């Protein structure tokens, strides 16, 4: 069966793991780790359009902007300027790989706390930056912080959330990313015309870092992580907290212990997870952990988010109008993430992936057509107000498609498909691929915009076609499937079954 749709008519015994006030609060706190990532995405693009910031660090960009005949596609073509944005992602890539070991050894919660403290330090350095070296140093600390939290938080959410609503709870991470983007865009707008506005924007990164770090200190680690580290008494207390007194905690804990032991034996007692993950039976999961974050980035969403104010200035908005347009874009994305949270566990992952891919493809091609007709290759024509608004509308529809699908699902899928023993390693690889691809694209986007012009959007449109076909052929449906039963999904898939046949563990219960 193409796509490998999965039936829940299988040998899965559900424990009483409904929605409790405690699990909601715990998941909200964990999901708030997305705040720091979203704040950085939203803040960096706006800061790079602030005149005082450019005067201090990138005067060559202002000089280009002042030249009346400059091609509008090339005003912000500065390798140093893009390094300010993209340097964070090199650090994030390294941080996410380090986080694999930290998460396994010290737990999901402690890794989130460490990430929050590291990000807070980066925000302080950037707010007080006196030169480009300090800016880049601050960005590196921010990157390590995000690398830690982006690795640990989605895994935490998948392991704590009840299986039936795992998609909705995990979408909370992307929702808080969206909240961070909107908050940052509003701060940029308020601070844009103040001489020290850029310092306020960069320095206030400490606020979301303090919020999520303080929250993380107040929650317990996941029962799965505690069992993996031999802390059974603490795991029992954690289960009682999130499942409630009515839940069958002892049976679920016993199942967690059993599955942990079986996974350890299957993987090899002393095997390194980053080695085990490359074995044949884990190939389907590995392909998805690499393919999904790669394809998510080649939708073009993050470069659009980073450079939204720059993009809108390029197509005719004034500085303030460009910042307002970026806020509108963020609000649309935030609304679509909420819609995704309500429908992901009803319609499934595959449907949303494919719907979002088609929607984004149409919008990318339409933006290319509008810019091609109005600006042409020269980029020196005067684009009318009507066309600038049309570009904004198209980008909003595009952003809504992303928020509905590839945004939240990028964090959900890798965190739910891996066996327990290699789950942190799998999530680390996924985050590393995400950051590595983001680095390349953010470092090259303004160069591409200058040289490819409106063809840049066709480039991303082509990738959207490829990724939608990829999902249709190779991604099985995972909605509602208990984490311990996930291997059965791959066994039934038309292609991946040849890699995992006979690998699924006997299922006698649902551990999360």
| 266 and 279 share one domain | no
Cα(99)–Cα(511) distance, rounded to whole angstroms?
24
* Confidence grade of residue 174 (pLDDT, cut at 50, 70, 90): very high
Question: Which residue did the predictor score with more confidence, 198 or 15?
Answer: 198
Q: 212: domain CATH number?
A: 1.20.1250.20
Q: Which of 352, 340, 47 is nearest to 187 (CA)?
A: 47
- Report d(CA 12, CA 450) in Å as an integer: 55
Give the percent of the chain with pLDDT over 90: 45
Query: Pick the residue with more confidence: 386 or 55?
Result: 55
Decide: residue 442, CB within 10 A, 0-12 exposed, 13-18 middle, 19+ buried: buried
The answer to whether 352 touches 340, Cβ cutoff 8 Å, is: yes
Nearest alpha-carbon partner for 135 in 144, 124, 145, 126: 126
Residue written as tokens 């680690």? 221
State how many domains the chain has.
2
User: Is the pLDDT assigned to residue 318 strictly greater than 90?
Assistant: no
Q: Please, what sign has the CA dihedral across residues 352, 354, 356, 359?
A: negative
Q: Does residue 213 have a pLDDT over 90?
A: yes
Please, is 66 exposed, middle or buried when counting C-beta atoms within 10 Å of its C-beta (0-12, 13-18, 19+)? exposed
The Cα–Cα gap between 281 and 144 comes to 31
Average of per-residue pLDDT across 179-183? 92
Structural Rg of the chain based on CA atoms: 23
Task: Check residue 71 and give its pLDDT.
Answer: 60
pLDDT at 104: 87
Residues 236 and 296 in one domain: no
Q: Which residue has the higher pLDDT, 321 or 142?
A: 142
Lowest mean pLDDT among 98-102, 118-122, 207-211: 98-102
pLDDT surpasses 60 at 307: no
User: Minimal CA–CA distance to 133: which of 93, 84, 68?
Assistant: 84
106 and 170, same domain (yes or no): yes
One domain, residues 283 and 258: no
Q: Which residue has the higher pLDDT, 390 or 287?
A: 287
For residues 134 and 4, the model is more confident at 134
Residue 4 belongs to some domain of the structure: no
- Residue 503 to residue 488: CA distance in whole angstroms: 9
Question: Rounded CA gap, 114 and 203, in Å?
Answer: 19
Same domain for 420 and 445? Answer: yes
Question: Between residues 202 and 450, which one has the greater pLDDT?
Answer: 202
Judgement on whether residues 239 and 385 belong to the same structural domain of the protein: no
pLDDT beyond 90 at 419: no
| SS3 assignment for 226-291 | HHHCCCHHHHHHHHHHHHCCCCCHHHHHHHHHHHHHHHHHHHCCCCCHHHHCCCHHHHHHHHHHHH
Asked if the structure places residue 62 within a domain, the reply is yes
Where a domain ends, among 204, 237, 270? 270
- Does the pLDDT value for residue 2 go beyond 60? no
Q: Is residue 134 a part of any domain in this protein? A: yes
Q: Is the pLDDT of residue 267 over 70?
A: no
Per-residue pLDDT tens digits for 14-42: 554 567 888 899 999 999 999 999 998 88
Q: Both 260 and 289 in a single domain?
A: no
**Does the residue 505 lie in any domain?**
no
- Using 50, 70 and 90 to split pLDDT, how confident is the model at 455? confident
From the list 71, 149, 87, 122, the residue with the least C-alpha distance to 442 is 87
- pLDDT score, position 508: 39
Angle, CA of 183, 188 and 192, to the nearest 5°: 160
Query: Does residue 132 sit in the same domain as residue 254?
Result: no
Asked whether the predicted pLDDT for residue 147 surpasses 80, the reply is yes
Instruction: Please tell me the predicted confidence (pLDDT) of residue 222.
Output: 92
Nearest residue to 190 via CA among 367, 327, 386: 327
Which of the residue ranges 232-241, 414-423, 449-458 would you say has the lowest mean pLDDT? 449-458
Looking at per-residue confidence, does 305 or 465 come out higher?
A: 465
Predicted confidence band of residue 511 (pLDDT cuts 50, 70, 90): very low
Q: Is the pLDDT of residue 308 over 60?
A: yes
58 and 196 both lie in a single domain: yes
The band of 179, judged by pLDDT with boundaries at 50, 70 and 90, is very high
Task: Note down the domain range covering 235.
Answer: 224-270
- Residues 105, 235, single domain; the answer is no
Place of tokens 């590995």: 286
Same domain assignment for residues 301 and 449: yes
Whether 5 maps to a domain, the answer reads no
User: Which of 60-64, 109-113, 129-133, 347-351 is predicted with the least confidence, judged by mean pLDDT?
Assistant: 60-64
- Work out the mean pLDDT of the chain and round it to a whole number: 83
Domain boundary residue among 237, 270, 303?
270
When pLDDT is cut at 50, 70 and 90, the band that residue 245 belongs to is: low
Of 427 and 320, the structure prediction assigns the larger pLDDT to 427
Distance, first Cα to last Cα, the chain: 28
What gap in Å lies between CA 78 and CA 63, rounded to an integer?
12
Phi, psi of 79 (to 5 degrees): -65, -35
Work out the percent of the chain whose per-residue pLDDT is above 70.
83
Tell me: the pLDDT tens digits for 367-411?
888 878 876 655 555 566 777 788 888 889 999 999 999 999 999
Complete DSSP assignment for 377-427: TT--S---HHHHHHHHHHHHHHHHHHHHTHHHHHHHHHHHHS-GGGHHHHH
Whether 12 is covered by a domain: the verdict is no
Residue of 263, 273, 310, 268 whose CA lies nearest to 45: 310
pLDDT of residue 58: 79
| Any domain includes 392 | yes
Q: Indicate the pTM of the whole model.
A: 0.83
Give the helix, strand, coil percentages of the chain, each rounded to 5.
Answer: 75, 0, 25
Contact (Cβ atoms closer than 8 angstroms) between residue 151 and residue 428: yes
Residue 13 has pLDDT above 70, yes or no: no
Question: So what's the pLDDT on residue 500?
Answer: 86
pLDDT band at 506 (very low <50, low <70, confident <90, very high): very low
Instruction: Say if residues 162 and 23 touch (Cβ distance below 8 Å).
Output: yes
Higher pLDDT, 75 or 482: 482
Within a domain: residue 11? no
Residue 256 to residue 216: CA distance in whole angstroms: 23
pLDDT the model gives residue 76: 58
Residues 159 and 246 placed together within one structural domain of the fold: no
How many Cβ atoms from other residues are within 10 Å of residue 133's Cβ?
A: 9
In the chain, how long is the greatest CA-to-CA distance?
73
Could you tell me which residue, 305 or 179, shows the higher pLDDT?
A: 179
Torsions phi, psi for 99 (to 5 deg): -65, -25
């Amino acid at each position: 069966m193409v796509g490998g749709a999965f039936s829940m008519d299988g040998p899965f015994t559900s424990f009483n793991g409904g929605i409790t006030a405690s699990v909601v609060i715990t998941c909200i706190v964990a999901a708030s780790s997305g705040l720091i990532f979203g704040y950085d995405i939203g803040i960096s693009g706006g800061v790079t359009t602030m005149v005082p910031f450019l005067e201090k660090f990138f005067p060559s960009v202002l000089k280009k902007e002042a030249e009346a005949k400059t091609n509008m596609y090339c005003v912000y073509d500065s390798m140093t300027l893009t390094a300010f944005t993209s340097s964070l992602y090199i650090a994030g890539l390294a941080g996410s790989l380090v986080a694999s070991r930290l998460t396994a050894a010290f737990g999901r919660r402690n890794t989130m706390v460490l990430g929050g403290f590291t990000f807070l330090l980066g925000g302080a350095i950037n707010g007080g930056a006196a030169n480009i070296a300090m800016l880049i140093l601050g960005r590196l600390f921010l990157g390590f912080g995000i690398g830690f939290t982006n690795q640990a938080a989605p895994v935490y959410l998948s392991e704590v959330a009840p299986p039936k609503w795992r998609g909705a709870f995990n979408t909370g991470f992307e929702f808080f990313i969206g909240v961070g983007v909107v908050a940052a865009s509003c701060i940029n707008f308020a601070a844009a015309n103040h001489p020290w506005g850029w310092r306020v924007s960069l320095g206030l990164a400490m606020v979301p870092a303090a919020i999520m770090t303080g929250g993380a200190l107040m929650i317990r680690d996941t029962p799965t992580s505690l069992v993996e580290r031999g802390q059974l008494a603490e795991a029992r207390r954690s289960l009682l907290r999130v499942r409630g007194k009515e839940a069958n905690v002892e049976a679920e804990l016993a199942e967690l212990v059993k599955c942990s032991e079986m996974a350890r034996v299957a993987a090899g007692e002393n095997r390194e997870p980053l080695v085990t993950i490359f074995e044949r039976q884990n190939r389907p999961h590995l392909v998805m952990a690499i393919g999904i974050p790669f394809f998510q980035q080649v939708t073009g969403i993050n470069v659009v988010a980073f450079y939204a104010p720059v993009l809108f200035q390029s197509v005719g908005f004034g500085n303030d109008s460009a910042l307002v347009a970026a806020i509108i874009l963020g609000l649309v994305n935030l609304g679509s993430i909420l819609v995704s949270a309500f429908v992901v566990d009803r319609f499934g992952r595959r449907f949303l992936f494919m719907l979002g891919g088609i929607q984004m493809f149409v919008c990318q091609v339409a933006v290319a057509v509008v810019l091609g007709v109005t600006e042409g290759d020269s980029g020196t024509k005067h684009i009318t107000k009507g066309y600038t608004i049309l570009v904004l509308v198209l980008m909003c529809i595009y952003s809504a498609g992303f928020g509905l699908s590839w945004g939240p699902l990028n964090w959900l899928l890798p965190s739910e498909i891996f066996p327990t023993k290699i789950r942190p390693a799998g999530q680390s690889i996924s985050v590393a691929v995400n950051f590595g691809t983001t680095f390349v694209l953010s470092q090259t986007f303004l160069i591409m915009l200058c040289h490819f012009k409106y063809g840049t959007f066709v480039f991303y449109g082509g990738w959207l076609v490829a990724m939608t076909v990829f999902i249709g052929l190779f991604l099985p449906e995972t909605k509602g499937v208990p984490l311990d039963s996930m291997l059965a999904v791959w066994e039934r898939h038309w292609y991946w079954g040849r890699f995992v046949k006979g690998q699924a563990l006997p299922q006698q219960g649902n551990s999360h």
